[in-house]
Amino acid sequence: MDGRHTARAGRDRGRRTAGVLLAGLLFASACVAPDDGAAPDSTARSVRVVLDRRAAAVLDHDTDAYLAAIDPQATALRTAQRRELDNLADVPLSSWTYRLTDLTGQGADRATADVQLRYQVKGYDAAPVVVDRVLDLRQAGADGRWYIVGDRAGKDGGRQLWQQGDVQVVRGTHSLVLGVGRTGQELRRIARAADRAVPAVSDAWPERWAGRVMVLVPHTVEDMAELLGSPAASYRGIAAVTTGQTGGPDRAPADRVIVNPQAYGMLGTFGQRIVLTHETTHVATRARTSAATPTWLSEGFADWAAYRTEDRTAVQAAPELADAVLSGDLPDGLPADEDFAFEGDSARLARAYEGAWLACELIADHWGEAKLFAFYRAVGGHPGRDGAVEQAMQEVLSTTPQEFTARWREYLRSRLG
């Protein structure tokens, strides 16, 4: 499934945040049983037994059983794997399984296994998160037992938080915060902000959603980029991103809000609240967001929800666009998807977010909040991008994109001029 990437920029000067929609491969939970694509022979069955025991050891926090699957001669791997298991100790897992998808022989006593690690965080994941791993194995001993001698990421197997260090866990009323290399005080502050964001989003979004949010706080922006599988340069100055499957089913894994601790820490209490409310809005609206949804609508709606009850004027909330309007540089049209790219001119990025927010503000102001919700659902429910906005504007707002754009430009003049 193709992924979509959207950005989130704040209106406080110098502040930039992000809301990223990354599609993932989602599968039904399964134990290590016969799988399509795996060799149906004794070697495959033996490897499945190793994986099954390894999975049980993770859930039981049984270090000896976990290390028993690793070659005794692979001392560096054993040390690294022991550390990872220790790092996971406080993470509330409800499931941890492996699915063998392919097994390739490399001689009489060597094999390489393509494996899907599937895990769920208790109370937050309705279905397993899937991570691709590649395991190198060696057969040894009189009993012909298979041992793991190598464990590395597969094609869709990005680095996980517990591979970056010891995971600290803070439970909020509506949130779960997992952090590495951060202080407990910092993680508790983030949990409080997330706890405030969840009811604010529930008040802004009329449909039922999970009503909770999981927040990951890595040690550095480089670690954040590792979790997202992108260059660190893409996220410098970005306070947070959200991961999830657009148009996801009810049993999709929970979204993760991933915080850039450096950029987030530079914000004041107000800015942090806006960031987490914005990102939490993406979590709530995920099932109604699809490839048909333009970035200006998904990001503008998230900002609209975040600013909805805040005491800020349009000029305070949209300073970059206000400067442009005052200088006579009124945008010709609604922001395009490429205007929300992380790389490039930060001022242009800010103007894109501000313009998107005011587009959603216009709909709520002129047509009403119920029409804004209906418009969002109608666009996301369209079978594709082509014609989605046009049809929804006609059916829900009784207008055309051309008429809406003209009204939006006038709205910018009146609110920011």
| Axis-axis angle for helices 346-366, 401-416 (nearest 10) | 100
Count how many residues are written for the chain: 417
- Structure tokens of 388? 């989605």
> Is the distance from CB of 304 to CB of 225 less than 8 angstroms?
no
CA distance linking residue 139 with residue 397, whole number of Å: 67
Whether residue 5 is contained in a domain is answered as: no
CA distance linking residue 277 with residue 414, whole number of Å: 27
Q: Which residue has the tokens 């048909």?
A: 292
Domain, as residue range, for 90: 42-144
Report the number of distinct structural domains present in the chain. Answer: 2
Q: H or E segment at 150?
A: strand 145-153
| Co-location of 251 and 346 in the same domain | yes
Whether residue 391 is contained in a domain is answered as: yes
Residues 384-406 pLDDT 10s: 999 999 999 999 999 999 999 99
Whether residue 101 is contained in a domain is answered as: yes
| Co-location of 262 and 298 in the same domain | yes
Q: Residue 118: helix, strand or coil by DSSP?
A: strand
Q: Residue 178: helix, strand or coil by DSSP?
A: strand
Q: H or E segment at 90?
A: none
CA distances in angstroms from 373 to 113, 168, 236, 248, 250, listed in the order given: 47, 37, 32, 18, 19
Q: In 314-399, which residue ranges form alpha helices assigned H by DSSP?
A: 314-317, 319-326, 346-366, 369-380, 388-392
> Is the distance from CB of 23 to CB of 246 less than 8 angstroms?
yes
Whether residue 242 is contained in a domain is answered as: yes
| Co-location of 315 and 183 in the same domain | yes
| Co-location of 116 and 172 in the same domain | no
- Structure tokens of 259? 């915080």
pLDDT under 50: residue ranges of the chain = 1-40
Q: Which residue has the tokens 């005052």?
A: 326
Whether residue 29 is contained in a domain is answered as: no
| Co-location of 267 and 394 in the same domain | yes
Residues 365-386 pLDDT 10s: 999 999 999 999 999 999 999 9
| Co-location of 295 and 410 in the same domain | yes
| Co-location of 139 and 202 in the same domain | no
Q: H or E segment at 300?
A: helix 295-307
Q: What is the pLDDT of residue 372?
A: 98
Q: Which residue has the tokens 């480089």?
A: 222
The domain that holds 117 is classified in CATH as 3.10.450.50
| Co-location of 300 and 363 in the same domain | yes
| Co-location of 245 and 294 in the same domain | yes
| Co-location of 91 and 201 in the same domain | no
Whether residue 26 is contained in a domain is answered as: no
Q: What are phi and psi of 242, to 5 degrees?
A: -125, 135
The domain that holds 185 is classified in CATH as 1.10.390
Q: What is the pLDDT of residue 144?
A: 86
Q: What is the DSSP letter of 335?
A: P
CA distance linking residue 216 with residue 162, whole number of Å: 11
Whether residue 187 is contained in a domain is answered as: yes
Q: What is the DSSP letter of 255?
A: P
| Co-location of 177 and 122 in the same domain | no
| Co-location of 178 and 326 in the same domain | yes
Whether residue 152 is contained in a domain is answered as: no
